[in-house]
């Protein structure tokens, strides 16, 4: 496929489909990227017309980016396939943009993670981080402007790149530009924690796109509210458009789902079967409650563990008969909040084992490591899947679990996950702050009759696979035509 034609599609995101890890002696080893964005887009990466532009995330990535012929990595032969341009952004600029602005400020604002004692403090250092965030966005805009064929479509992803749409439009007005947010969007009263000029820049940056997409109605509505309250932009709620500074941007909602067939095929591979056998031996015929997350503050692991503790405290009949498998893969450890949170999770887990464990029963297994095949194996064995984020753009775990469960898992789901908009009727929904309610939902889930579980799980799978990634992405592109 000629990538200089107007069929060309560019994807831009911070994390790309792969990253590199040092390996002893030989060439750096390729690793699949984690998180919802990459899981969603990995399936379209291999298409001939697609070029994926992402940031080098580490020194090993930076080295690989520098050594790639013409700066392009060819992933043919790898899981994802496709062509990738990894941007060699200076390490200090990347660190300030990624840690200082994207993952602390913007992530915290959209997930409502600040409270009064840890409210943000915007000072000279934040301004310097912000300048790096601008330079980082400009590096993407420059690369996209260079690589894009006339009239190409560009799909810019997530909060790391909220300034890039406008920057790219200024460089290349001929391109058709989409932005997609994989996070929730903050309501205006919370969004206004941002210094006024920065709050304006982020909204105007995204409005540089022709189309701005969100995962759920409520996030799109919140974005419209912010455009109205902060920019005094003209909002058409019926047509879902924002008009500001002489341009109109369409707002769309695309609820990313999972590709059931591809997921089942991956789960049928031998590495998953081997891990399933090991887990089965550990669980030894007991009922199994599974959760799988990044070690992420918004995922609410500590309250989830507290709910499991309360289940065991209130319902002694489960002692010796249930195991909770909590898999948390390490994430964003450059931020002290994430390191402290992981320690808190470990302490909460240890105290449950200490309180209830016996010589013959370990009530909880917490594993803080990245093992994708083991996560797939755990889905297969789950009787109950616990997904209780404080707030989440979508949450693909809630969709992947039912698809892979061999035991018609019951889903305990936070009402604050974007996925609740589609799954709430067949899940047991909870207020993520209400530990007691979550504990009772776990109890009900464990007691749910097989027929009801099967019926609910069938409908969960139907909803989860309704908009698989290739169709989700095609919808984003179609919105540009
Ligand atoms: C969320 C974000 C993604 C991000 C992922 C993993 O799903 O929306 O943009 O890639 O978390 O986080 P990380 O910081 O490791 O890329």
Question: What is the set of domains in the chain, with CATH numbers?
Answer: 8-256+470-478 (3.40.50.2000), 260-464 (3.40.50.2000)
Question: For residues 229 and 118, which has the higher predicted lDDT (pLDDT)?
Answer: 229
Alpha-carbon span 253 to 472, nearest angstrom: 10
Q: Is 223 left (phi over 0), alpha (psi -120 to 50) or beta?
A: alpha
Cβ-based neighbour number of residue 55 at 10 Å = 26
Alpha-carbon span 359 to 320, nearest angstrom: 10
Alpha-carbon span 384 to 325, nearest angstrom: 10
**What's the pLDDT score for residue 36?**
75
**What's the pLDDT score for residue 38?**
87
295 CB near ligand 1 (under 6 Å): no
**What's the pLDDT score for residue 454?**
98
For atom 5 of ligand 1, the residue with the nearest CA is 35
Query: Which of 131, 185, 176, 135 minimizes the C-alpha distance to 158?
Result: 185
Q: What's the CA-to-centroid distance between 476 and ligand 1, angstroms?
A: 19
- Strand 18-21 relative to strand 241-244, pairing: unpaired
Q: What's the CA-to-centroid distance between 36 and ligand 1, angstroms?
A: 7
- % of the chain exceeding 70 in pLDDT: 98
Q: What is the pLDDT of residues 433-474, one digit of tens each?
A: 999 999 999 999 999 999 999 999 999 999 999 999 999 999
pLDDT over 70 at 6, yes or no: no
DSSP summary character for residue 234: E
The percent helix, strand, coil of the chain (3-state, each to 5) is 50, 20, 30
For atom 3 of ligand 1, the residue with the nearest CA is 37
Cα 407 to chain centroid distance, Å, stands at 26
Contact criterion met (CB below 8 Å) for 334 and 95: yes
Alpha-carbon span 398 to 401, nearest angstrom: 6
Q: Is 165 left (phi over 0), alpha (psi -120 to 50) or beta?
A: alpha
Alpha-carbon span 178 to 175, nearest angstrom: 10
Q: What is the pLDDT of residues 54-74, one digit of tens each?
A: 999 999 999 988 888 877 888
Mean pLDDT of 41-66: 89
Query: Which of 203, 194, 183 minimizes the C-alpha distance to 119?
Result: 194
pTM given for the model: 0.96
Q: What's the CA-to-centroid distance between 215 and ligand 1, angstroms?
A: 15
Which phi and psi angles does 375 have, rounded to 5°?
-60, -45
409 CB near ligand 1 (under 6 Å): no
Mutation choice for ligand 1 from 35, 52, 293, CB with most ligand atoms inside 8 A: 35
Sign of CA dihedral 311, 312, 313, 316: positive
Q: How many CA atoms lie within 13 A of 328 on its CB side?
A: 30
Atom of ligand 1 nearest to the CA of 157: 9
For atom 15 of ligand 1, the residue with the nearest CA is 331
Q: How far is CA 463 from CA 207, 460, 471, in A?
A: 31, 5, 14
37 CB near ligand 1 (under 6 Å): yes
Render 118-184 in DSSP notation, one character per residue: G-----HHHHHHHHHHHHHHHHHHHHHHHHPPTT-EEEEESGGGSSHHHHHHHH-TTSEEEEE--S-
Cβ-based neighbour number of residue 90 at 10 Å = 13
Q: What is the pLDDT of residues 396-405, one digit of tens each?
A: 999 999 999 9
Q: What is the pLDDT of residues 312-366, one digit of tens each?
A: 999 999 999 999 999 999 999 999 999 999 999 999 999 999 999 999 999 999 9
Q: How many CA atoms lie within 13 A of 424 on its CB side?
A: 11
Cα 165 to chain centroid distance, Å, stands at 20
Measured at the alpha carbon of residue 283, what is the angle toward residues 281 and 284, in degrees to the nearest 5?
A: 65
Q: What is the pLDDT of residues 257-290, one digit of tens each?
A: 999 999 999 999 999 999 999 999 999 999 999 9
ipTM over 0.85: yes
pLDDT over 90 at 80, yes or no: no
Q: How far is CA 217 from CA 14, 130, 213, 419, 421, in A?
A: 24, 29, 10, 11, 8
Residues shown for the chain: 481
Q: How many CA atoms lie within 13 A of 421 on its CB side?
A: 20
**What's the pLDDT score for residue 250?**
98
**What's the pLDDT score for residue 1?**
40
**What's the pLDDT score for residue 112?**
96
Residue 329, SS3 per DSSP: strand
Look over the chain and give the mean of its residue pLDDT values, rounded to a whole number. Answer: 94
36 CB near ligand 1 (under 6 Å): yes
Environment class of residue 395 by beta-carbon count within 10 Å: exposed (0-12), middle (13-18) or buried (19+)?
Answer: buried
Contact criterion met (CB below 8 Å) for 32 and 84: no
Cα 333 to chain centroid distance, Å, stands at 16
Contact criterion met (CB below 8 Å) for 311 and 443: yes
């Amino acid at each position: 496929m000629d990538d200089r034609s107007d069929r060309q599609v560019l994807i831009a995101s911070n994390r790309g489909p792969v990253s590199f890890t040092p390996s002893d002696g030989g060439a750096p080893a390729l690793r699949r990227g984690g998180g919802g964005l990459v899981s969603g887009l990995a399936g379209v990466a291999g298409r001939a017309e697609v070029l994926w532009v992402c940031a080098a995330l580490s020194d090993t990535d930076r080295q690989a980016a520098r050594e790639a012929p013409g700066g392009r990595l060819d992933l043919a032969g790898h899981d994802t396939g496709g062509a990738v341009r990894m941007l060699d952004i200076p390490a200090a600029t990347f660190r300030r943009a990624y840690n200082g602005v994207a993952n602390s400020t913007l992530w915290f604002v959209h997930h409502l993670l600040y409270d009064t004692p840890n409210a943000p403090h915007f000072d000279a250092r934040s301004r310097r981080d912000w300048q790096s965030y601008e330079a980082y966005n400009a590096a993407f805009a420059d690369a996209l402007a260079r690589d894009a064929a006339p009239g190409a479509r560009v799909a810019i992803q997530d909060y790391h790149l909220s300034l890039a749409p406008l920057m790219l439009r200024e460089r290349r007005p001929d391109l058709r530009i989409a932005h997609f947010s994989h996070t929730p969007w903050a309501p205006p009263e919370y969004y206004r924690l941002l210094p006024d000029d920065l709050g304006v820049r982020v909204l105007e940056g995204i409005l540089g796109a022709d189309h701005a997409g969100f995962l759920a109605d409520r996030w799109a509505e919140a974005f419209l509210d912010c455009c109205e309250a902060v920019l005094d932009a003209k909002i058409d709620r019926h047509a879902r458009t924002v008009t500001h500074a002489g341009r109109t941007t369409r707002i769309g909602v695309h609820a990313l789902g999972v590709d059931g067939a591809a997921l089942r095929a991956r789960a049928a591979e031998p590495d998953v079967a081997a891990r399933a056998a090991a887990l089965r031996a550990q669980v030894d015929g007991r009922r199994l409650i599974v959760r799988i997350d990044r070690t992420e503050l918004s995922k609410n692991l500590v309250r989830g563990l507290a709910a499991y503790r309360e289940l065991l405290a209130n319902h002694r009949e489960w002692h010796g008969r249930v195991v909770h498998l909590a898999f948390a893969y390490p994430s964003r450890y450059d931020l002290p909040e994430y390191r402290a949170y992981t320690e808190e999770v470990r302490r909460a887990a240890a105290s449950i084992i200490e309180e209830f464990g016996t010589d013959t029963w370990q009530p909880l297994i917490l594993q803080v490591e990245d093992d994708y095949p083991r996560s797939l194996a755990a889905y297969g064995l789950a009787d109950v899947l616990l997904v209780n984020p404080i707030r989440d753009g979508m949450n693909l775990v809630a969709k992947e679990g039912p698809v892979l469960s061999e035991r018609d898992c019951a889903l305990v789901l936070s009402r604050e996950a974007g996925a609740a908009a589609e799954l709430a009727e067949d899940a047991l929904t909870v207020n993520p702050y209400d530990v007691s309610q979550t504990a009772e939902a776990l109890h009900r889930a464990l007691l749910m009759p097989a027929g009801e579980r099967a019926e609910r799980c069938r409908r969960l799978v139907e909803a989860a696979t309704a908009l698989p990634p290739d169709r989700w992405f095609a919808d984003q592109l179609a919105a540009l035509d």
